[in-house]
């Protein structure tokens, strides 16, 4: 079954539909692979083998009777540990929530289950989802697929690691400032952040509710689109025939292309060349609203995050890794008037950004400005942790601040992704464009 575990989720769905693979055998193969992996406890917080096997049996029966519920019916996936699962601990990577067991599934998990997806278990993550590096000394730091001692990207670190190591066919994470796209980029996967509110957050442990989103991590754009649709409770879109011919792309030179390290600039420019060769018309330009919006992020994020978690943190501050705890506590410095004024200004900047990009199909830039740093270096130096975390999140956070939908694709260079961003509500159009871009970049 090793060759099956290396296939995309959509390919596995097709194999099930053709009668070549039984969901029971497939699920058992993934569960066995998890158990046999020496780093399993760094990837999965807990598996849900009983649930997975029961769901696989039902999927097998439906396949035999020709009653499959979706293209991914019977396909096993992993879920980030801040997405509620009934009767199974959901602790959001934090000792503050140790022993928390929800009574029901989150809406996105319930929808996906209804369409036949198999839940393998809950994956490790950054504490309360508040870091882009994926380093969590309080529970576990998942291994990066290229170097087990390098940062995996966060906060959906375990989900990305599970897919990249062949322990799940696809997975689901959350993205408040880049937490789906960063681990996807650093592990050579596709990561999709939908428009805010496109997917239900009911049953998802909050971080900053006005920025929180849920999104898929996967091997392909087709998988990401199918999983996104399943979480909405509907069939996936048809991406066949997608083309870059005549599309207009804007390389955002404001902030996003500044200070690139570790060969990120070369990987990005090579990607741009391939996109142009496939028919895209690429322009370059600066949008001053972006830099000003990023300057507001400190007020907006930390205020809401500390407002949500401050009481629990101060009741047991020793239960948190200090650099993450300090990020939360930064929210104490901002008053209510500052927070309200910052949101009012961000609304203006979002309008300016929309006006400046109205003539383009997508805005593109590197998914992250740097390659994954080594975990041991981050843990040894809290100032380095803070500075690398801010740089890591800089580019992905543009999509959250501007209210965009956003997707990262592998470039072919290890741990270097290229990110495509489109306006709010343009999720399906962006996925179609990304499918065409994926073909050009492969």
* pLDDT 10s digits, 278-313: 999 999 999 999 999 999 999 999 999 999 999 999
Contact call for residues 79 and 172 (beta carbons, < 8 A):
yes
Q: Is the pLDDT of residue 232 over 80?
A: yes
Exposure string for 50-75, b = 16+ CB within 10 A, e = fewer: ebbbebbbbbbebbeeeebbbbbbbb
Please compute the mean of the pLDDT values over residues 265-277 and round it to a whole number: 98
**d(Cα 73, Cα 68) in Å, to the nearest integer?**
6
Residue 348 lies in a domain: yes
What pTM did the predictor assign?
0.98
On whether both 182 and 270 belong to a single domain, the answer is no
Tokens of 344: 């009012």
DSSP element (H, E) containing 78: strand 76-80
pLDDT digits (tens, 9 = 90+) for 110-158: 999 999 999 999 999 999 999 999 999 999 999 999 999 999 999 999 9
On whether both 175 and 255 belong to a single domain, the answer is no
Residue 305 lies in a domain: no
On whether both 271 and 351 belong to a single domain, the answer is yes
Residue 241 lies in a domain: no
Active site (catalytic) residues: 80, 155, 179
**Sorting pLDDT into bands at 50, 70 and 90, what band is 253?**
very high
Please compute the mean of the pLDDT values over residues 37-46 and round it to a whole number: 98
Residue 297 lies in a domain: no
Exposure string for 79-115, b = 16+ CB within 10 A, e = fewer: bbbbbbbbebebbbbbebbeeeebeebbbbbbbbbeb
Residue 239 lies in a domain: no
408 forms bridges with which residues in the sheet? 191, 419
**Sorting pLDDT into bands at 50, 70 and 90, what band is 173?**
very high
Residue 270 lies in a domain: yes
On whether both 151 and 272 belong to a single domain, the answer is no
On whether both 100 and 225 belong to a single domain, the answer is yes
On whether both 101 and 198 belong to a single domain, the answer is yes
On whether both 263 and 193 belong to a single domain, the answer is no
CATH code where residue 390 lies: 3.90.1300.10
Last residue of a domain, one of 183, 200, 232: 232
**d(Cα 439, Cα 275) in Å, to the nearest integer?**
9
pLDDT in the model for residue 4 = 87
What sign for the dihedral angle of Cα 267, 393, 193, 165?
positive
On whether both 281 and 170 belong to a single domain, the answer is no
Q: Is the pLDDT of residue 1 over 80?
A: no
CB atoms within 10 A of CB 207: 25
Per DSSP (E only), the strands in 184-247 are 190-193, 214-218
Contact call for residues 16 and 68 (beta carbons, < 8 A):
yes
How many structural domains compose the chain? 2
On whether both 210 and 253 belong to a single domain, the answer is no
What is the DSSP track for 415-432?
Answer: T-EEEEEE-TT-HHHHHH
On whether both 137 and 270 belong to a single domain, the answer is no
432: containing domain: 248-290+333-441
On whether both 128 and 188 belong to a single domain, the answer is yes
Taking Cα atoms as reference points, which of 138, 132, 133 lies closest to residue 92?
Answer: 138
DSSP element (H, E) containing 57: helix 49-65
CB atoms within 10 A of CB 233: 15
pLDDT in the model for residue 3 = 85
Q: What proportion of the chain, given as a percentage, has pLDDT over 70?
A: 100
On whether both 206 and 60 belong to a single domain, the answer is yes
At which residue do the structure tokens 């080594």 appear?
374
Last residue of a domain, one of 232, 256, 276: 232
**Sorting pLDDT into bands at 50, 70 and 90, what band is 254?**
confident
Residue 397 lies in a domain: yes
Last residue of a domain, one of 232, 259, 278: 232
At which residue do the structure tokens 């849920």 appear?
214
Residue 416 lies in a domain: yes
């Amino acid at each position: 079954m090793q060759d099956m575990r290396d296939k995309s989720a959509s390919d596995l769905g097709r194999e099930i539909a053709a009668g070549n693979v039984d969901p029971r055998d497939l699920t058992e193969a993934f569960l066995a692979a998890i158990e046999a992996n020496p780093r399993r406890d760094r990837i999965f917080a807990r598996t849900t083998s009983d649930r997975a096997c029961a769901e696989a049996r039902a999927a097998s029966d439906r396949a035999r009777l020709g009653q499959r519920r979706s293209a991914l019916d019977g396909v096993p996936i992993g879920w980030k540990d801040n997405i509620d699962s009934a009767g199974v601990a959901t602790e959001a990577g934090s000792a503050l929530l140790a022993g928390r067991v929800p009574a029901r599934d989150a809406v996105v998990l319930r929808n996906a289950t209804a369409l036949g997806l198999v839940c393998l278990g809950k994956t490790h993550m950054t504490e309360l989802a508040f870091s882009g590096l994926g380093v969590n000394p309080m529970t576990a730091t998942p291994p990066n697929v290229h170097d087990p001692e390098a940062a995996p990207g966060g906060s959906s670190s375990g989900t990305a690691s599970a897919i990249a190591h062949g322990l799940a066919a696809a997975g689901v994470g959350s993205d408040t400032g880049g937490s789906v796209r960063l681990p996807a980029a650093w592990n050579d996967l596709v990561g999709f952040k939908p428009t805010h509110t496109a997917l239900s957050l009911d049953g998802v442990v909050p971080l900053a509710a006005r920025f929180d989103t849920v999104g898929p991590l996967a091997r392909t754009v087709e998988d990401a689109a199918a999983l996104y649709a399943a979480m909405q409770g509907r069939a996936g879109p048809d991406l066949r025939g997608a083309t870059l011919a005549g599309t207009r792309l804007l390389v955002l030179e404001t902030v996003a292309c500044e200070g690139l390290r570790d060969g990120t600039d070369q990987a990005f420019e090579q990607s741009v060349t391939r996109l142009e060769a496939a028919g895209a018309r690429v322009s370059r330009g600066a949008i001053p609203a972006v830099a000003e919006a990023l300057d507001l992020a400190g007020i907006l994020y930390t205020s809401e995050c500390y407002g949500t978690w401050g009481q629990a943190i101060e009741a047991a501050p020793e239960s948190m890794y200090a650099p993450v705890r300090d990020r939360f506590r930064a929210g104490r410095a901002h008053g209510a008037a500052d927070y309200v004024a910052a949101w009012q200004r961000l609304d203006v900047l979002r309008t300016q950004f929309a006006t400046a990009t109205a003539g383009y199909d997508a805005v593109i830039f590197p998914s992250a400005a740097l390659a994954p740093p080594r975990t041991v270096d981050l843990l040894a130096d809290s100032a380095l942790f803070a500075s690398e975390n801010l740089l890591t999140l800089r580019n992905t956070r543009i999509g959250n601040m501007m209210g965009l939908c956003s997707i990262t694709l592998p470039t072919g260079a290890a741990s270097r992704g290229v990110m495509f961003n489109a306006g709010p509500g343009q999720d399906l159009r962006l996925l179609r464009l990304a499918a065409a871009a994926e073909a050009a970049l492969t």
